[in-house]
Structures are given as structure tokens and as C-alpha cells.
């Protein structure tokens, strides 16, 4: 039976009843009564103690613990909260040919996020050059899609004041892991204790790398002794599901913890968009948004590298969207399967 914390009024009534039972003629419920004031103060103090007990009870098990207490529980199983990461990528700088843009040159976005070039670059004859930049703060706030304009914090002689994010965007900036994600990894670790390098071990190891949000394991992928580990960084918007830097970091970490006889191959699967054509009824902006969200959730839950999503599951996701009464799924006409090294992702939705 769950613990029911008594309310302040109930505690006050209990104290007053105890006073009446123990002190002859006591009337603590009277207005401006000294005993009434004492009863109120005692009830408030006890109510606070109940609150503390309730809070500590919540932190006493890993399934409900939060914050530092959850981190303490996770540490007992060797799991740490994933650290935030910075966004990186390339931008297009334009200006006079032959002008050098020094390393550590500062630029900023419209939301005030600052970036700095990681190496000196020289503007080519065509009047432009690609420059690598890194955000100066951690977190997803540093991620920028292609085409976003950055401005130089201080002018560089011979260089245009504005630069543009390259086609690959600025990616891989991730926030510090939240409690729910950490708890999910801890529960998975408790449910799947280490077994000397089984599939669950590789998933746990991969998910402990900053930036990695999903992982899949394919034993014997390239033959005896080989383990293919696919990883995803859901903040990354490139053609693959994770940046080369995140893949390299995961490869380095897994090489340090894998069994000595295993050959680990860490890969970010390439996106294979699935375009969907559907007619829904009633066809409203809210209905379209609900269908889009339901399909996005389907692909996030069911898509695995080189895996299949049945057409019936796509139709079911559409049917489960709030406000949908009827629909006609035109495309795809059959089950869809990802190719080698690819994973199915939600493509373009056409409403017809």
C-alpha cells in the first residue's frame, strides 16, 4: 500500500485532539489560543518532516531517484551521466582571394552562440573557403542547420562580415544526459548484467559515450570474432546518424573495454528516407501534425540498421494519430527494408 502523507490540516487537528485529551479544559481550536498557536507550529514542523521522509523514500531506490542520488545509484554499476558535447562543422567564408582568416577567429549566431575557427584558412581564388568551427559552449544550442548566417565578432580586413553554415550543418552538440535517459541505462544494466562481452554489454558501452543516443549490435557481422556496432546521435543532421568524431570516440572507447578476442567495428548507419503518400480524413493542419509526429515516433522505435518496417505498421501509426478517422496509405505500397549499412528514416510526407 503506498505511503499517504497527511496534510497540514490533518496534522493540526491531530495535535489539537491530543492536547484536549491530555490537558483538562484545553481549547486549542479557539482563536488566538496559545495552545492553538503551539499546535499549528508543531503540525507545520511534523509536516516538513513527513515531506523530507517522502523525498528520501523517493531517492532510496534507483527507479525513482533523481539528480545526484540517481548518479550515486548509477555509479554503483559503473555508469556515469553522459557529458554535454559541443557542436562542430564547417562554414563558408567569403572575401578577397589570398586573405588569411586566423585560427580562433570568433563568430556568432543570431541567438548569441559563439563559434571559433579551429584552424587558419586562406580564401581561394574564387573568393571563398571552407573553415572548421567549434561552438564555445556545450549543448544542442550550438547546432545549426545549413544556410544559417554567422557574423564575425570582430571584422577581419578583406573578409565579408557574414559567413554561412555549410551544407552539412553544425552538429553533434548534445545536452547533458537527463535523469530519464540515465535511469533507462541503469535499469538496462541491472536487467542485463555483464556477460563477458554479450550484445547487451556492447549496447551499454556504446551508450555511455557522450553524444550516442542509440546503439545496435550485430555479432559476427563480418565473420568470426567481428562485432558491428551501429550508433546514432539524434542531434546530428548529416547523411549518417552520427558524426565522424562521435564514431571515432565510440570506436576508441569500445576498443578499450571489449574482450581481447573481439574485433569491434563502430559505424554510423546512413539515412534511407522513406517517402510516404497518404490521404487522411479529416484533413486538417492539426491532423497532419499528429500523423507526422506518430510516424516519427514509429521510425524512432522500430527502425534498426538494415531492418524492415512493415507497411501495416506505417498504416497503424497513421491510425493512432489523434484526430484521424480514416486514411488511405498510397506510398509505400509494400514493406520497406534498409540496405546494407543503412537505416530507415522518415522522408517526405505527401498529402493527397
Q: What are the pLDDT digits (tens) for 243-254? A: 998 999 999 999
Q: Where are the alpha helices (DSSP H) in the chain?
A: 8-22, 34-59, 67-76, 179-191, 199-207, 244-257, 285-302, 311-319
Could you tell me the strand order of the sheet in which 326-331 lies? 326-331, 270-281, 342-351
The answer to whether 221 and 227 are in contact (CB under 8 A) is yes
Q: What is the mean pLDDT of residues 287-303?
A: 95
Q: What is the mean pLDDT of residues 33-40?
A: 91
Q: Which residues, at least 6 apart from 201, have a Cβ–Cβ distance to it below 8 Å? A: 192, 194, 195
Max distance between CA atoms of the chain, in angstroms, equals 101
| Predicted local confidence at residue 3, as pLDDT | 65
What's the chain's average pLDDT?
A: 92
Q: At what angle do helices 311-319 and 285-302 cross, to 10 degrees?
A: 140
| Predicted local confidence at residue 192, as pLDDT | 79
Other C-beta atoms closer than 10 Å to the C-beta of 218 total 18
Q: List 37's β-bridge partners, or say none.
A: none
| Predicted local confidence at residue 2, as pLDDT | 53
Other C-beta atoms closer than 10 Å to the C-beta of 130 total 12
State the Cα–Cα distance between residues 212 and 174, nearest whole angstrom. Answer: 9
pLDDT band at 1 (very low <50, low <70, confident <90, very high): very low
Query: What percent of the chain lies above the pLDDT cut of 90?
Result: 79
Q: What is the mean pLDDT of residues 101-122?
A: 96
Measured in degrees and rounded to the nearest 5, phi and psi for residue 335 equal -60, 150
pLDDT digits (tens, 9 = 90+) for 116-125: 999 999 999 9
In angstroms and rounded to an integer, the radius of gyration of the C-alpha atoms of the chain is 29
pLDDT digits (tens, 9 = 90+) for 151-184: 999 999 999 999 999 998 998 899 999 999 999 9
Other C-beta atoms closer than 10 Å to the C-beta of 213 total 20
pLDDT exceeds 70 at position 95: yes
Q: What is the model's pTM?
A: 0.69
Grid cell locating 82: 553522459
Q: Is the dihedral of CA 255, 257, 260, 266 positive or negative?
A: negative
User: 264: helix, coil or strand?
Assistant: strand
pLDDT exceeds 90 at position 106: yes
State the Cα–Cα distance between residues 132 and 115, nearest whole angstrom. Answer: 10
The answer to whether 58 and 66 are in contact (CB under 8 A) is yes
Q: What is the mean pLDDT of residues 58-80?
A: 92
pLDDT digits (tens, 9 = 90+) for 130-159: 999 999 999 999 999 999 999 999 999 999
Amino acid at each position: 500500500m503506498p505511503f499517504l502523507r497527511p496534510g497540514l490540516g490533518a496534522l493540526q487537528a491531530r495535535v489539537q485532539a491530543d492536547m484536549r485529551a491530555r490537558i483538562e479544559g484545553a481549547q486549542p481550536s479557539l482563536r488566538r489560543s496559545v495552545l492553538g498557536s503551539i499546535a499549528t507550529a508543531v503540525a507545520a514542523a511534523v509536516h516538513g518532516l513527513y515531506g523530507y521522509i517522502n523525498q528520501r523514500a523517493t531517492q532510496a531506490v534507483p527507479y525513482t531517484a533523481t539528480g545526484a542520488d540517481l548518479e550515486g545509484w548509477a555509479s554503483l554499476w559503473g555508469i556515469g551521466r553522459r557529458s554535454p558535447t559541443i557542436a562542430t562543422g564547417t562554414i563558408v567564408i567569403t572575401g578577397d582571394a589570398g586573405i588569411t582568416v586566423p585560427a580562433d577567429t570568433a563568430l556568432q549566431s543570431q541567438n548569441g552562440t559563439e563559434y571559433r575557427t579551429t584552424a587558419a584558412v586562406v580564401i581561394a581564388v574564387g573568393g571563398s573557403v571552407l573553415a572548421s568551427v567549434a561552438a564555445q559552449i556545450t549543448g544542442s544550442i550550438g547546432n545549426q542547420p545549413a544556410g544559417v548566417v554567422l557574423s564575425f565578432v570582430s571584422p577581419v580586413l578583406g573578409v565579408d562580415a557574414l559567413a554561412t553554415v555549410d551544407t552539412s550543418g553544425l552538429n553533434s552538440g548534445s545536452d547533458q544526459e537527463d535523469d530519464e535517459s540515465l535511469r533507462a541505462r541503469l535499469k538496462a544494466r541491472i536487467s542485463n548484467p555483464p556477460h563477458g562481452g554479450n550484445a547487451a554489454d556492447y549496447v551499454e558501452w556504446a551508450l555511455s559515450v557522450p553524444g550516442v543516443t542509440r546503439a545496435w549490435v550485430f555479432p559476427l557481422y563480418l565473420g568470426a570474432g567481428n562485432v558491428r556496432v551501429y550508433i546514432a546521435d539524434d542531434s546530428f543532421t548529416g547523411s549518417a546518424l552520427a558524426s565522424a568524431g562521435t564514431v571515432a570516440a565510440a570506436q576508441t572507447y569500445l576498443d578499450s573495454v571489449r574482450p581481447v578476442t573481439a574485433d569491434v567495428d563502430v559505424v554510423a548507419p546512413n539515412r534511407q528516407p522513406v517517402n510516404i503518400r497518404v490521404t487522411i480524413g479529416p484533413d486538417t493542419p492539426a491532423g497532419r501534425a499528429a500523423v507526422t509526429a506518430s510516424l516519427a515516433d514509429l521510425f524512432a522505435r522500430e527502425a534498426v540498421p538494415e531492418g524492415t518496417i512493415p507497411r501495416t505498421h506505417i498504416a497503424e501509426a497513421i491510425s493512432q494519430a489523434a484526430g484521424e478517422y480514416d486514411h488511405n496509405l498510397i506510398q509505400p505500397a509494400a514493406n520497406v527494408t534498409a540496405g546494407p549499412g543503412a537505416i530507415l528514416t522518415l522522408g517526405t510526407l505527401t498529402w493527397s
